[in-house]
Amino acid sequence: MAFRADEAAREGYEGAFEYLITRCKTQSAEERQRSIDRLMDLTDSLGPVIRAYPSWHPLVSNYRVGSHPTTTPSRDCGYEGLDHTVLFQNGFVTCPYDDGQRVIDSVNNLPRNRAAVLEAERLDVKFYNADTTSILVRCHWQKNIGHDGTIPVSVALPLLLEKELPQWHRSQVAETWESMRPYFLGRPYGSRSSLFVSQEAGQKMKTVWNLLINTGMYGPIHVGP
């Protein structure tokens, strides 16, 4: 599958604009322009709009070991009060119909992640609806990431292994790279890359995953739908 990062980023921004700006019809022209400017600023600072994170990403990785991998922010990974949420490469905006304090408190109560610091704040613009509060949850990486926001394999692979190695004594079958790449690469994705992982990093992750499943540690390799 060919993956075109520029095309994916453009489509993501158009969808976010429609959802966050166009739907908010009660704003004045001045307020609307401030919201547009802030959305552009967020895209510059957080990276492109995405559909789902890799399951090992600090923004979603706080799900219980042994449960189904989580790739979007939810109560399953520790968040409370999310509503009308748009995801970016390194953060997300959520727009609840209250003051957003539940979101901020839940972010502050998340377990410490060794790879990143998560921070929540209220924004001074309106997204989605004039009666909502815009909350930004940002991921501050502790190590340098690529200039395009992609995560180096030296960070991505250990995060992936932290989530997947403990599964060895629970698993009955081993899932192939083809079936796991939506969870390992985030969405949108290609055969070995996404807006989170470069082709080179994705190939190394695929190689390591294939080595793991071929040891038999997860059981026989699952073949079929």
9, 97, 151, 222 from 16: Cα distances, Å: 11, 19, 23, 37
pTM above 0.85, yes or no: yes
Evaluate whether 120 touches 85 at the Cβ level (below 8 Å). Answer: no
176 shares its domain with 125: no
Mean pLDDT, the chain, as a whole number? 93
Residue 45 lies in a domain: yes
161 shares its domain with 182: yes
pLDDT tens digits for range 144-189? 999 899 999 999 999 999 999 999 988 899 999 999 999 999 999 9
111 shares its domain with 47: yes
Chosen domain end from 141, 175, 201: 141
Residue 221 lies in a domain: no
162 shares its domain with 107: no
Amino acid present at 66: G
Tally of domains within the chain: 2
Beta carbons within 10 angstroms of residue 25's beta carbon:
9
Residue 189 lies in a domain: yes
Evaluate whether 136 touches 153 at the Cβ level (below 8 Å). Answer: no
User: In this predicted structure, what is the pLDDT of residue 142?
Assistant: 94
Evaluate whether 149 touches 54 at the Cβ level (below 8 Å). Answer: no
Evaluate whether 1 touches 191 at the Cβ level (below 8 Å). Answer: yes
Residue-number span of the structural domain to which 134 is assigned: 5-141
User: In this predicted structure, what is the pLDDT of residue 203?
Assistant: 97
129 shares its domain with 194: no
Evaluate whether 56 touches 153 at the Cβ level (below 8 Å). Answer: no
Whole-number Å distance between alpha carbons of 81 and 117: 20
Chosen domain end from 93, 114, 141: 141
pLDDT tens digits for range 17-74? 999 999 888 888 999 999 999 999 999 999 999 999 999 999 999 998 766 889 999 9
State both tokens at 208. Answer: 């390591």
Average pLDDT estimate for 212-221: 95
Evaluate whether 62 touches 53 at the Cβ level (below 8 Å). Answer: no
Q: What percent of the chain has pLDDT over 90?
A: 83
Residue 224 lies in a domain: no
Q: Residue 156, exposed/middle/buried by CB under 10 A (0-12, 13-18, 19+)?
A: buried
93, 103, 131 from 71: Cα distances, Å: 15, 18, 28
Chosen domain end from 141, 161, 183: 141
165 shares its domain with 71: no
State both tokens at 89. Answer: 């490469």
189 shares its domain with 85: no
116 shares its domain with 10: yes
Average pLDDT estimate for 108-127: 96
